Structure 1
Amino acid sequence: MTMPFYVSPEQLMKDRADFARKGIARGRSVAVVRYADGVLFVSENPSAALHKISEIYDRIAFAAVGRYNEFENLRIAGVRLADMRGYSYDRRDVTGRGLANAYAQTLGTIFSSGGEKPYEIEIFVAEVGDTADDDQIFRLTFDGQVVEEHDYAVMGGAAEAVTTYLKERYAPGLARDEALALAAAALGQSETGHRDVPARDLEVAVLDRTRSQERKFKRIAPPVLVGILGDKGESAKAEETSSDPVTPPAAPAGNDDEPPIAP
């Protein structure tokens, strides 16, 4: 009878954490930035159908990086929980802190369980208040830890480079368009240098406290983004596409039976 290999609990947790971190790092970054009238979410996401930023309830939004199917399941569960709590009690009883705690319990249970792999995701849950001092941003890691963020935060991809860029340039009380331009420029940072992210490849949404509706969540459409940010990234992409292709070398003499290489 073969004996099973023994792995210490510390090593097991370390291996699971390393596995989750590697999966999260492969995704594109998401940045959340507080501005004068609310909270701004920005992510590089060319897909128009698979959203990384979504509304959960009246004043609460959700953003995630990592495996889409995993964070989408959590998003749906959060919407159902918020709807049930708001219907059973009062809409004011649905809070970002309550949802963050519920997500933390779920992620912590999955991470510590030996029966399934840990979720390869990180999550932001943000709630906009009546004043800037009432705004709350919670970051949830794959192992269920909850951290309250202030002013700005980044997760996924080249998070360290993006955070450094924001730290050097962020100032409280930015207007929405200023915060958007700062976040878009930050998402172009990486360990290898800077690039301009095309405005149409960005997914952007805000929790705007100045909206007259009960629901404060609003997506910013690509044409509006182009108007705010310009099309630097798109111009560079078009320039690269329109450049003359490299002419292939001619076929060597004596190979008349073989057609020349098509460009």
Structure 2
Amino acid sequence: MSCGQSCRSLGSLLLLLGGNLAVLVKIHENSINGTEGQSVLLRVSYRYHSDPQYPVKIVWDSGNMQDNLVTCSVLKCSLGAGGVPGICSAQIFYHPTYRNRIKLFPENGSLLLSDLRPSDSGVYSVTFQVSHQTFHINLTVHEEHHSTTEHPRESFLSHYYIIGICSSVCLLLLFLLFCCIRHRGAARQQQKRIIKQQQVSSVEESHMESTVVMDMATIYTRVGDSLEQSRQRPTPEVVYTSLSSPGPPQQDTGLYHLLV
């Protein structure tokens, strides 16, 4: 083998190694749990080990479908310390089935899934085609539990509304009870007044009856007394007697009537 051929082979090997080490990829979690109806982030990050060779192609796939889930071509990025991408310009293509539920961030390659469904559970893989590196993340979507997923503020407000409604109902019942007791008290007072009036009327009627009886008895007594007195009074008797008046003996003597 000539020197020229050896140099060309070594250069090709270095170029291949440089291409493989041009992008360093990191997966933060191999397994992630999500909740139905919520969102989850499949976290990935990468940095350039050397001068980047654009475009950098990032592809996300799902074990539940045959076509690519997301295809992203990073056209250019501003690099920070350690070759970490800053602001990037990219072309992103989403699968129509997930168009409204997924979003890819070209600055780090992470994938956001929203409005999770149980059918979203499965293995997701991301491939950086510059370095031909593929990484896998297992996603498990759990069914929603209202008791555990309820927002604290919403729970507080719901409890507050329940307490307010119960308090209003209790106040209404107390008001109705007060009105009922007051109505019964007024009815009893009215009944007592009627009874007292009836008693007073009865006393007055009995007094009048006794007065009438007494008056009649008095009348009868007076009439009886009068009759008795009239009966006890002696009837006048006519007594005949002869009276002589002193005078000359030649005058006539006669009979005179004396009523006793």
Larger RCO, structures 1/2 (Cα 8 Å, 6+ apart): 1
More strand by share: 2
TM bucket (normalised to shorter chain) is: under 0.3
- Length-normalised TM-score, structure 2: 0.24
